[in-house]
Structure 1
Amino acid sequence: MRRPCMNVVCSWLCGAATGLAHNWTSIDGHSCNRYDDAAEKRKVDGARRKVLRYAHYYERYKAHGDSRRAEAEKLGPAIEARARRLREDPDPATAPASGDAAEALAAAHRALLASRDVLSRSYAFAYHMFGGEERTLKAAAPESEVATAQALFEDHQEMAERHVEKLSGLLAADAPPAPATAGDAALRRAKQDAVALTAVVEKHCGEMHKCIQDELLPMLVEP
């Protein structure tokens, strides 16, 4: 019997309705990473809105930090064990490819941890940059330009977040009980997926950094 997808009810993180255009890895038109300040202004007073806004960013900051810790302490040793088995492939015909697969898994895990750091800190940055009372914009930087840059930043943040979760799920998948070699179709596919997801994650994390450096920071008045 096919297990029903519970995303049809609500997102696990924000609780908002999702509709039917979704699958296990994505939800069309649904962006949990964005804080809808305009909607909150219509519902609550200023003090309550500040609390909700802080909670939105802090919960996501903490969630990625907690995930990174678990992926380092629990997933890390499992990845090391899988890589070690691959490097010990006794078949001369497949040993080089097995070694490449081991390096791909290790590199994907390093990228996963680094991306968790980036995503966690991206929420701390967004909290202060987008609507924060501490910032001071240059006179030549109207709010409309900030909104455009914010949308670009959050697009890359959302895509990075989505693919980080896919990469985490891929690396956390149960390893085969017998020592795998590069001749195994499942291993080849896992290696290809890990390499592809790592590239996508690093791309969007890099684009977030580029947006901060080129679009957002120049709008701020230096202290």
Structure 2
Amino acid sequence: GTLTGIGNSLMLATLAGLICGVLGLGIGTFVTRTRARSNPALLGLSLLPQAIPGLVIAVAWLVIAPRIGLYNTPWLILCAYLTSFLALVVQSVHAPLSATPTTAEEAARISGATRLRALWDISCRMAVPAAISGAVLVALTAVRELTLSVLLLSPGSQTLGVVIFNLQQAGAYNASSALSLIVAVVGLAGLGLTARTARTPRTPRTGSYTHL
């Protein structure tokens, strides 16, 4: 059971980090670099789960799951992770881009780049380190998450947090303490990686653009 919980947690946390990283990068770049009327609504919708308790999110997914065929599957936990933790990446990407002027993109447009090319080469590349940091935070948070995992638990989909909780409830304090120490060490290592990534921003690619 412990090995199954570790494997499930690593899989779900990795997928949650990757998907949230890509979605958060796209949403953060879109709302800061375009003037669509839906930008405030999109940003607010992506940040809204931060204000909603995990219990409410879990119950909502329990209601939705039977209608989309995810009931009693580990992918239901993944969907709950994505809903709860996407805001971490959006906030990480939105902050630096909103404080960065668009002059570099305008220079790329003048040099012949299309709007999409300038958006990708300038804004997205500047936001990649922030997206990576946010994705790492999502993965670390998902590994130790308990509320969503307990409520959405299905046979064979127990996570590391649930395993630690069950061991503690069963009186196996030595085993639960050992697993808790492992989670703490991995979390500290991940935070160190996040801090290192945040200190080494990526320079946007420069060069000439030519119309084809």
TM-score band (shorter)? 0.3 to 0.5
> Normalized against structure 2, the TM-score is what?
0.42
> Normalized against structure 1, the TM-score is what?
0.41
Higher relative contact order (CA 8 A, sep 6+): 2
